[in-house]
Amino acid sequence: MARPREFDETAAVESAMHAFWTHGYEATSTQDLCAATGLGRSSVYNTFTSKKALFHRTLTHYSGQGLAGRKAILESPGTATERIAAMFDALVDDELEHGRRGCLVVNTLAELGTPDDEIGEALRRDTEKQLALLAECAREGVLDGSLRPGRDPADVAEFLLSTISGLRVMSRRGASGEAMHAVADLALSAIAR
Amino acid sequence: MARPREFDETAAVESAMHAFWTHGYEATSTQDLCAATGLGRSSVYNTFTSKKALFHRTLTHYSGQGLAGRKAILESPGTATERIAAMFDALVDDELEHGRRGCLVVNTLAELGTPDDEIGEALRRDTEKQLALLAECAREGVLDGSLRPGRDPADVAEFLLSTISGLRVMSRRGASGEAMHAVADLALSAIAR
DNA sequence: CGAATTTTGTACTGACCGATACACAACCAA
DNA sequence: TTGGTTGTGTATCGGTCAGTACAAAATTCG
């Protein structure tokens, strides 16, 4: 072995993540990334190869964290309806507390679409996992009687993810917490028993 | 007077609009705009002042067109529920036909947030007008009996706009037409009698 | 201690960015 | 025809972009 790193790689990824999150992919320059992480250019390129590779790293980190948090909420005790309501509450709270950054995945989808590269693949994978998580919850809701039966759980999952995306966009445009809660409540009323 | 323009200004705005729409604000260079419009740099800058000014022009053009189309649908004959369903159908058809560009306003909100300048103002104004249109429809729906009463029309409008945004993001990530229709149907079921 | 290996800081690369300068072309009014 | 005015094409501006070259610094192992 040789000279050791003078920084924490995960911390650097998180700093870069916030830079990309608030300013978007294109508008975040490599200089911005150096400033955000506190690293020199050499360290950034030596560790992360390229801007795009660092963004990909950032995206998978974000996705992993987000999915873990959502999974924790959707697999907590209570009826499926209660858990979905808690998920919406957490989303709104998060937006109000952290300055309406929206969702990195949604922001990236809107800015870049679904590119035919590893970025697009990361976006697709995140979407699939979110849908799987939500569909499972929809199935449980029918069993525990808190969700209306008769709908395809996959459709319910798509509806919930669409509502989540809608709320993220709402937050991005500065909508009030009350308005966001009202939207979540209406969405819930479409599927709750 | 002097030498006349050799191009149609509105056509140039529409060409620029499609460039911004598909690639985003930052990723569209002034060279791209010249190529898309067929104009030289001089003509672009002489006519539109700057990239940002052209984008603003593009955004207001988009907003005006979009609002006019939506207004035509939401003020057509039929119950409010039928008209809202027609609006969703038109949105899904539009996305399937035109290559999943999403909505320029949603894409811009996600990429730039709500900046404290004329761009942000244009985004806010579009949102306000969309909400006003949808709220009026929600009010009519209660009167004609096709929408469930008891909800604040402003909340219903926020819910519908959120669903629209969600569908636009869905389209951007490549969701199927069936999935989008299912989401629209579920959203409608939350507010229809 | 020194040889090998990796990180770090500084300087730099060519390419492209948005925007401009300016000569010239094209038109109208007189 | 001529002078005034505006549009267009070409060349170019300084600045910033993502990425790299390379030497000095810092560590482990022999």
Give the pLDDT confidence of B83-101 residue by residue, as tens digits.
Answer: 999 999 999 999 999 999 9
Assess whether pLDDT exceeds 90 at residue A187. Answer: yes
- Cβ <8 Å between B169 and A174: no
Torsion angle defined by CA atoms of residues B104, B107, B111 and B113, in that order, rounded to the nearest 10 degrees: 80
Identity of the residue in A24, A111, A183 whose CB atom sits nearest the CB atom of B162 = A183
- Cβ <8 Å between B162 and A164: no
Residues of A in contact with B187 (CB under 8 A): 159, 187, 190
Query: Which chain C nucleotides are covered by protein, judged by CB under 7 A?
Result: 4-11, 16-22, 25-29
> Which two structure tokens, joined as six digits, stand for B50?
């700057």
Residues of A in contact with B182 (CB under 8 A): 152, 155, 158-159
Q: Is domain B59-191 given the CATH code 1.10.357.10 in the classification?
A: yes
3-class DSSP state of A5: coil
Q: Where are the domains of chain B?
A: 59-191
Question: How do residues A9-66 score in pLDDT, each as one tens digit?
Answer: 999 999 999 999 999 999 999 999 999 999 999 999 999 999 999 999 999 999 999 9
Q: Scanning the structure block, which residue is given the tokens 């917490």?
A: A177
Which residue in B114, B183, B182, B25 sits closest to A164, CA to CA?
B183
DSSP B82-118: HHHHHHHHHHHHHHHHTTS---HHHHHHHHH-S-SSH
Which residue in A180, A35, A163 sits closest to A94, CA to CA?
A180
CB-strand contact A5/C, under 7 Å: yes
Question: How do residues B145-184 score in pLDDT, each as one tens digit?
Answer: 999 999 999 999 999 999 999 999 999 999 999 999 999 9
pTM: 0.96
The predicted pLDDT at position B3 comes to 87
Assess whether pLDDT exceeds 90 at residue A174. Answer: yes
